[in-house]
Structure formats: C-alpha cells, structure tokens
Structure 1
Amino acid sequence: MTPEIVEISFKGNKRVPYFNPKEIKVKPGDWVIVEAEKGIDLGQVNKVGRLVALFEIKGDPKNIIRRAVDEDLAKLKENRKEEALAFTVAREKIKKHNLNMKLVDVEYQFDRN
C-alpha cells in the first residue's frame, strides 16, 4: 500500500510532496521534520491525502520523519534571525567587491546543512 502523501510548505512558499510512511497524524498548519536532500528540514503541512494526490508528483517524494516539537520551532526562529544577519553580510560583501549580482534571499536548512 502506498503511504499517504502530504504537501509541505517551506520558506518562500515552496511546496513539496512528502510520503507519510509512519502514518503520523498531521493536519494543515502542523509543523513536521522531513528528510531533505542533505540532512533534515522543518516545514509546515499544507495539504494532506487525496488533495495532494490530485496533482502530478514529479520525482520520488522523501519522507516525513516526525512532528516538530517546541525546541524545533525555537531553532527555526533562531535560523531566521541568522538568515537576516547573513543576508546583510552578503549584501555588504557584494557591494564591497563591486560584484554584478543581486542577492535575493538567504536560507538555512533546519539542520544548517
């Protein structure tokens, strides 16, 4: 039997389908820890089940690992603060070195990989 499919939202409104092989009870708005290309990440449940299955899924979805706990959400908040600092530093270096580029965003994956 194919595991339930859950759409997870990340920073920048990026939405990605994930399998829920452990059948963790989740609903839209819940925060979860998921497998990432390198390590783990934290995202918010957007859609669950058949609503997600109606859309074409490209590639091989990764898995939800577990529900997020308060410490995970605190780490996300800290990462967002660090992203703002990294954005400022990067923008200053771009200007200092007269680089022909525009910095759009800075994002730390949950586990900082």
Structure 2
Amino acid sequence: MGNSLDCGLSDCGSPEADESQDYAKPIEYSDAREPKAAPPPKKILSSLEVHRHLKEYYEAWKNGTIQPKQLEMLQKMPVDPATGLLWWQWVERHSGICEHQPPREKPAFLAS
C-alpha cells in the first residue's frame, strides 16, 4: 500500500519540464481574468435636493399623511453636523419657518 499523501507526482509535471508555465500561483488566480469594473460612484445630493426631499416628509408629517415607519426612520437620523439641528429643525430653518436659535423642541405646526 502506498502513502495516502502520494498524489502521483509523475502526473503533475515539473518546472524543469515546462518552463513557460508559472507555478508560483494557482491557476484560479491567473492574470487572464477580466478585472472587476469599479461600482458607479454614489450620487451626492445637493443641499437643495436634500431640502426638497426632507420638505416632502415634513409636509406629510404636518398633514398627517406620513407613514409611521418613515417618521420613525427620520426621527432616528443624527443631527446635522454643520448646524446641530434635527432633520425637521433644519427644514424649518431652510424654509424660513423658524430660525431655531435656540432650537425648539417641537415643530412649528405642533407648537401651541
């Protein structure tokens, strides 16, 4: 009986027998593969686009037509690092509804 690790080296060939083959790396890593295309860059929204989208959510919230999951998602957003305002405070400031200096705790449509 032979060694269980014997892979039949006579079938594998040798570097001396064929010097044109590169034995330094496995075949599955050969340079013949096509490189993967880089993913397209993510679109960066402008301040106006962000305001437009958030304003739509703000108006839906004001009108009572926002989906609860949407409002929950919006309320979990971090504060704006540039202004320290929550999303709805930022919308109110950019829409001219309230300056939020200092920031109010409730949106203008909920303030009594």
Q: TM-score range by the shorter chain?
A: under 0.3
Q: Which has the higher contact order (CA 8 A, sep 6+)?
A: 1
Q: What is the TM-score of this pair, normalised by structure 1?
A: 0.20
The structure having more radius of gyration, on CA atoms, is 2
Greater share of residues in helix = 2
Greater share of residues in strand = 1
